[in-house]
Amino acid sequence: MVRMASAIKMLIRGSAGTAVIAATVAALGKLRTTHLITVTRQTTAEPEHIWPLWEDVPARVRWDDGLDWIRLDEGPFALGATGHVKLKGQSAVRFEIIECDPMRRYTDRFFLPGGTFMDWEHTIEDRGDGTREVTFKVVVKGPTALVLTPIMKKILGGALPETVDRLVSLAEETAKAGRG
């Protein structure tokens, strides 16, 4: 009987220890913004050829093959707009445009389980030499950020550079077709 009581106490202490560790990781994740990846590509395409590719949300599947689908709930692509996205092999998640400066930059926030979110910052920066830099920067913040970061880095590290390459190529093709 004494052994059983000792075993139960150890289990309780072990569970409490696990709970303390989990709570600590969650608290640290809440306080910290974790950089996942930044991909920048140089292009001759004008913002007028890049921005519409971002703005036409359902058509993003043309250049982002990681998507099953993506859509706005209603209204135009603008600050405060909300929508849903389904990545291949994943459940659909909600997103909101939290920053929008047309032809220059926007940020959409994807709401993940456990009160965690992932911000995707998209920018077009003029280099002054007839070219621009198109940048995608992804950060995560929230209680599960420390757990999600290694998984998301592995996924995005392989897929995002190719996605940005396809976006830039499509913008350049559109620009060439418009000049012809």
Per-residue pLDDT averaged across 108-133, rounded?
95
Give every CB contact of residue 89 below 8 A, 6+ residues apart in sequence: none
CA 71 – CA 158 distance, rounded (Å): 24
CA 123 – CA 133 distance, rounded (Å): 8
For a pLDDT cut of 90, what percent of the chain falls above it? 64
Residue-wise pLDDT for 98-111, tens only, equals: 999 999 999 999 99
Pairing mode, if any, of strands 132-141 and 33-43? antiparallel
pTM reported for the whole predicted model: 0.80
Handedness of CA 54, 60, 65, 68 (dihedral sign): positive
Phi/psi region, residue 100 (left: phi>0; alpha: psi -120 to 50; beta: rest), is beta
State in Å, rounded, how far the first CA of the chain is from the last one. Answer: 88
CA 147 – CA 169 distance, rounded (Å): 34
What domains are there in the chain, each with its CATH number?
33-178 (3.30.530.20)
Residue-wise pLDDT for 17-76, tens only, equals: 555 555 554 455 455 789 999 999 999 999 999 999 999 999 999 999 999 999 999 999
pLDDT attached to residue 33: 84
